[in-house]
Amino acid sequence: MKEERTTASQVFRASAAERALLDREAVSAQLRQLGAEVVDAEPLELPPLLADAYIRLKAAGRL
């Protein structure tokens, strides 16, 4: 999203994308403060990370 923006549409789209990323980070931080485990990853990376988180939580008796 760091390329040059030459139209209003490109500026608005980049702004919306940046806002979404900031909102995502804020929600993740709030959930972590409440004790939730947050797994945030790209689709191809998500399954193994979820499995790892599940095993870690199960071993810690948090399920």
- Asked, for residue 55, whether it belongs to a domain, the answer is yes
Tell me the C-alpha to C-alpha distance, in Å, between residue 2 and each of 5, 11, 23, 60: 9, 11, 19, 41
- Asked, for residue 16, whether it belongs to a domain, the answer is yes
- Asked, for residue 3, whether it belongs to a domain, the answer is no
* Chain centroid, CA 36 distance in Å: 13
pLDDT value at 8 more than 80: yes
**Gyration radius of the chain's alpha carbons:** 17
% the chain with pLDDT above 70 = 97
- Asked, for residue 22, whether it belongs to a domain, the answer is yes
Q: 60 pLDDT band (50/70/90 cuts)?
A: very high
Q: Give the chain's domain count.
A: 1
Mean pLDDT of 18-29: 97
- Asked, for residue 2, whether it belongs to a domain, the answer is no
The residue range of the domain holding 44 is 8-59
